[in-house]
Structure 1
Amino acid sequence: MQLSRSIQIKYNTQIKVDIQNVIEKILMSTMLTIMFVHCGDNSLGDLNKNEFDPADTVSTTPWEHEVYLPFDIPPFSVLRASEKKVYAHYFTQFPISIDNKDPSSDYYQNGYLSPNGEEGKHLDYGGFLRSRPIPREPISASNWKEINMQEEVRRAIAVGIDGFACDLLSDKGYHYENTKILLDAAYLVDPGFKILLMPDMVAFRDRPDDITKLILDLAQHPSALRLEDGRLIVSPYNAQTQEPDWWKNWMNTMEDQGEIVALVPLFQGWKNYAASFSPFSYGMSDWGWRSVSGQSYWESVAQEAKSYGPIWMMPVSPQDMRPKSLRYWEAKNSLQYRIMWENAINGGSDWVQLITWNDYSEHTMVAPSTGTDYSFYDLTAYYTTWFKTGSKPTITRDVIYYFYRNQKIRLTPKYQSKKFNLDSGSDPASEQVEVLAFLTEPGILEIEIMGEVETKPVQSGISSFRIQMKPGRPVFRLRRNDEVIITLPGAFKILSEIDYQNLLYLGGSNSRVPVMKEVD
């Protein structure tokens, strides 16, 4: 379906019915004897409701079956009305499903997760990916791509996200097709959910002029993000690959074609380019830096950047780990994500770009996945609400989250010829297990591994407790007055022997059945 601003569309209402009728089920075992455990399609109903059958869980954890966020999120209409905006970077290579096949043998499993995938080209580092979108059974409808994309839009809306910043990687083929599907999905699910056009100037480095036709094409869609005055917002990734004069000429060309552009260039090293780009830019952004200690620089960036334009879009990212390049940055469990969000909130940023919604190759995703579960996704709901309303949400129920790797960095993999390298600008590597608690009252947090228990008294509110990791399955508890309130076994064992490295911070919580659980 092609949508246009100049025509009215009569929608096929059956599409929305199809979305609501598609429910995820329990899936087969996959690599490393991992068993996926269905957690219900929480995105299609009330954000504060779990929709799984309590009998589905294999854990003795006293799961909260009705409400899973630690606070009551405002209606999306309230969050949408805020002048503060949140856009999640969407990477078209990784939709929910690539081929609509059984997850135990689909392209994610056999092509990307398997060390032997894609004719063995990822064998040296144990597979292209270490995580994937939450698996789902094949959809019988011919428009399965559209159904899946609409589900992603719904999931983003459910945590207060205003739109996707779509990485435009090509003007034809797979990536272009998925971009068009995404625009249509946004309009059909919620016309107020917008797509920020982000031409990837690395992908178009050798043919930058080709973005003109691409942007003019996509700009015809009513889901393309615009200012109230009608200007089209374009935020080129790595804008510095082209000189300022090139961009001024490009904007003139676009205006000659009838499209006035509000440019929000995204840089790597924004301060080096701000002065030369500011005369013709509506705002600016940066890809940001990974690691905790480097975030202190970003505390005042929003105010500084506003001397160059009215809008600053702050980067916020949970972690970064890239098997293909054997490279990672140290995020210290959930700490990096929380600090980046607080910098955006306290520093007065106008917009936030979540980096990313679904780049599984760099493992920066906040979308629900087999590795991070709903952990960063749920944190996104909390911090988006805080960012948009200006007040910390009141914690109304006890929820604890965990974040840890399933192996020590120092372990030598059996089949991997070269180990991961810590980026030269990163903090030192950390080997800790974290429980992040959202509490209505004071309590005592416990982490137990192989019979050894460590505790920390904490107050109400948000508290983090980290201990050194050791082999075994962590168990997390909340106690009050000598009574165990929550017992949460981690879904992942910490290994003492590995075939390949996996330096992804994994996640889970007591309020959701785990997306996946290792078989003992």
Structure 2
Amino acid sequence: METNQVYHVQSYAFLNDPRFELPHDGVSNASGSPGASPNPSRPHSQSVSFRSEDAFLLSNPKNESRLPMSVAAPPTFFQRSRSFFTGSRDRVFKRLFPLLALVVLIIVAIAVGVAVPLSRSNESQELADSGSNGGSHDPAGAPPSPTSPSPPSSSTRPSGPVNSDIPDIPSDAYHNEPRLVFAHYMLITRPPNANFTPDIIMAKAAGIDAFAINYGGVNVDYDTERTYLSQFYNYCTAQDFFAFLSFDTTSTDSSGTQIDPQQAVDLFNQYNDHPAQLKVNGSAVLSSFQTADPSWNWQESVLSKLNASVHFLPHTLSTHGEQVFAQDIGAEGYFSWMHHDLNATQEAATDASFASSRNQSAAAATRADKPAQKWMVSLAPWFYKNLGAHWAQAQDSSIFIPRLKNLLRRKPDYIELVTWNDFGESTYFGPLNANLTEMCPECYYAHLEHGGFLDMMKPVIRTFKAGETEVLVDEEAGEKENVWLFYRLQPARSLPKGQDSSDLPELVQDLRDKVFIVSFVKQETEIKVEGKDNGGKKIVRSVMVERGLSVSEVDWAWGNQTVTAVRGDEVVVEPKTGPAIVDDVVGYNGNVVVV
């Protein structure tokens, strides 16, 4: 009995400590990884939930002698409250007078204590107001210099949200049509026999409107690239699908020479009237990928030389939408990329900056009776790269579902999935490439399917095109409930023998050892995930999820991961099993598999 009382008090002591969250099997796990699991022979109990009515366990006088020495006993006047008024009237007043005096003193102390902070708060607010109204600490009164639009490097990643000073103008009143979805296609990474038909059919079935063809790369043979570009356009025509050029300004040929802007002029003029060329309001779409401004000027070197009207959407890595939209380079809008080195809060602030700037631009265009500039946003399902640079990403599971749900409220004009097939950065929505798998069966992308990410996008694309913000199951559209898992196959900090922490990727500290669940259900549903503990025994972790599309997580367990969805006695989604999580690794892999 005494042990039970100590257990309850200690349990409540760490209920709010995130290091000691109780997993769904009720066993405390301070690290969140299978390696920190308790003795596997111990039976798994149900997790204990704390209720407000259970607070008596902390103050019940009958438990006083059983409290551990490290936990303070309840104040004595609580324990004596039942007999407080049982004596005579004189004894009552003798007891009551000191207590009343104490109450008066407390009230006076509170009044004085509150008045001082309030006065200081008012002073601080006046200082803040003067600063926001043009006040400056510069004696000369010069305004602060503008913030650089370039994104932070991984070594200088900001600790707080970027753009926190940008006014967040809601997108509620913004009405954008057409709402289109594209996928970034690496032409340099071609499917077997350069047969683009399966990719086109798959993209079209998902609701994607066009491929943005990334023209260029490293050590590119441009004669070969142009040949495959022509074939790609023709394959699109055969499937009644569309494409447009995304000119990669970082491209170099085998000699290291950077790509010539004249190629963008020639290619645009060549494909402007192609049946598969995507056009918006009669203008051919042209985009780009660039990590910095090219050495040439888009307006003078490209746009002025085109033989037809263009819907130009240049790419930017900037985190400051207001600076981007203030440019005058002949663009009809801007393409904001994802940032692997920003955390989820910072990325959300960047999206808010671009949405607000677009909204301001649209309002100004309406007053001037001219077309509004557009905002095209990138959306990646994951990011991990080990080619020259070794990078993870700082947003972990928030990089995809939480961000896209926020984007639905921000109402971008266009969404571009980045990417369809960039396997080197683990951002692919499309199928695995058999050529690459055969060439490098041990590579981090060789056997890890991402097709589930594309399946998740299907109801999102429908929702986006309808102008709605909540992704719900539409049975009339033939949608069915589903659940997916995505996870790494090894702990984030596990390395093969002989390697040390210097072999870990940048931003590894932002990755958590969890199994992530994406659910798409009609109503509240229980998701169960099976795995194994350290002793090889089966364990089941479970979580309740809300209706619609959402992401949740369970603690890691070793072995194959099997997921199912149940609602009462009904099996909503049949079990499906993914590959095993292991700790005996032969090489580091920060990519994920989708089940």
Q: Does TM, normalized by the shorter one, top 0.5?
A: yes
Give the match for residue 375 of structure 1: 452
Q: What is the alpha-carbon distance in structure 2 between the residues aligned to residue 150 and residue 91 of structure 1? A: 15
Tell me how far 1:371 sits from its aligned partner: 1.6
1:272-325 residue CA offsets vs partner (Å, 9 max, x unmatched)? 852563352111112122353333211352231354552110111111111212
Give the match for residue 160 of structure 1: 207
Equivalent residues in 2 for 1:296-315, closer than 5 Å: 296-297=348-349, 298-308=351-361, 309-315=372-378
Tell me how far 1:336 sits from its aligned partner: 1.8
Q: What is the alpha-carbon distance in structure 2 between the residues aligned to residue 416 and residue 162 of structure 1? A: 45
Give the match for residue 212 of structure 1: 265
Tell me how far 1:476 sits from its aligned partner: 1.7
The 3-state SS of whatever aligns with 2:297 is helix
1:479-513 residue CA offsets vs partner (Å, 9 max, x unmatched)? 332555545343210012010111112101xxxxx
1:102-132 residue CA offsets vs partner (Å, 9 max, x unmatched)? xxxxxxxxxxxxxxxxxxxxxxxxxxxxxxx
Match among 320, 340, 346 for residue 403 of structure 2: 340
The 3-state SS of whatever aligns with 1:326 is strand
Give the match for residue 454 of structure 1: 541
- Flag the 1:284–1:226 CA change in 2: closer, same or farther, 3 A: same
Give the match for residue 250 of structure 1: 301
1:186 aligns with 2:236: yes
Contact 2:213/2:246 (8 A) holds in 1: yes
The 3-state SS of whatever aligns with 1:361 is helix
Q: What is the alpha-carbon distance in structure 1 between the residues aligned to residue 230 and residue 259 of structure 2? A: 23
Q: What is the alpha-carbon distance in structure 2 between the residues aligned to residue 398 and residue 259 of structure 1? A: 46
1:218-274 residue CA offsets vs partner (Å, 9 max, x unmatched)? 334232222333x3322121184236x82221245414xx23333211111163852
Contact 1:395/1:461 (8 A) holds in 2: no
The 3-state SS of whatever aligns with 2:188 is coil
Q: What is the alpha-carbon distance in structure 2 between the residues aligned to residue 202 and residue 461 of structure 1? A: 40
Contact 1:416/1:501 (8 A) holds in 2: no
Give the match for residue 275 of structure 2: 222
1:95 aligns with 2:183: no
Q: What is the alpha-carbon distance in structure 1 between the residues aligned to residue 467 and residue 380 of structure 2? A: 20
Contact 1:473/1:489 (8 A) holds in 2: no
Give the match for residue 264 of structure 1: 313
1:292 aligns with 2:344: yes
Q: What is the alpha-carbon distance in structure 2 between the residues aligned to residue 484 and residue 149 of structure 1? A: 38
- Flag the 1:161–1:287 CA change in 2: closer, same or farther, 3 A: same
The 3-state SS of whatever aligns with 2:279 is coil
Contact 2:279/2:285 (8 A) holds in 1: yes
1:408 aligns with 2:408: no
- Output the amino acid matched with 1:404: Y
Larger radius of gyration: 2
The 3-state SS of whatever aligns with 1:358 is coil
Give the match for residue 417 of structure 2: 354
Contact 2:448/2:593 (8 A) holds in 1: yes
Give the match for residue 133 of structure 2: none
Q: What is the alpha-carbon distance in structure 2 between the residues aligned to residue 239 and residue 223 of structure 1? A: 28
Q: What is the alpha-carbon distance in structure 2 between the residues aligned to residue 415 and residue 166 of structure 1? A: 41
The 3-state SS of whatever aligns with 2:560 is coil
Match among 493, 515, 520 for residue 580 of structure 2: 493
- Output the amino acid matched with 1:201: T
The worse-fitting range, judged by mean Cα deviation, of 156-165 and 299-308 is 299-308
The 3-state SS of whatever aligns with 1:157 is helix
Match among 277, 282, 286 for residue 234 of structure 1: 286
Q: What is the alpha-carbon distance in structure 1 between the residues aligned to residue 294 and residue 392 of structure 2? A: 28
User: Quick one: percent identity of the two aligned structures?
Assistant: 19
1:421 aligns with 2:505: yes
- Flag the 1:307–1:176 CA change in 2: closer, same or farther, 3 A: farther
- Flag the 1:403–1:453 CA change in 2: closer, same or farther, 3 A: same
Give the match for residue 326 of structure 1: 390
More helix by share: 2
Equivalent residues in 2 for 1:79-90, closer than 5 Å: 83-90=178-185
- Output the amino acid matched with 2:213: C
- Output the amino acid matched with 1:407: Q
- Output the amino acid matched with 1:456: V
The 3-state SS of whatever aligns with 2:419 is coil
Match among 399, 407, 410 for residue 482 of structure 2: 399
- Flag the 1:485–1:351 CA change in 2: closer, same or farther, 3 A: closer
- Output the amino acid matched with 1:178: Y
Match among 203, 226, 245 for residue 176 of structure 1: 226
- Flag the 1:189–1:429 CA change in 2: closer, same or farther, 3 A: same
Tell me how far 1:362 sits from its aligned partner: 0.8
Give the total of aligned pairs. 371
1:282 aligns with 2:332: yes
- Output the amino acid matched with 1:385: R
Contact 2:247/2:264 (8 A) holds in 1: yes
Structure 1 residues without counterparts, runs of 5 or longer: 1-80, 101-144, 509-520
What is the TM-score when the length of structure 1 is the normalising length? 0.65
Tell me how far 1:179 sits from its aligned partner: 1.7
Structure number with higher relative contact order (C-alpha < 8 Å, ≥ 6 residues apart)? 1
Q: What is the alpha-carbon distance in structure 2 between the residues aligned to residue 415 and residue 94 of structure 1? A: 33
What is the TM-score when the length of structure 2 is the normalising length? 0.58
1:481 aligns with 2:568: yes
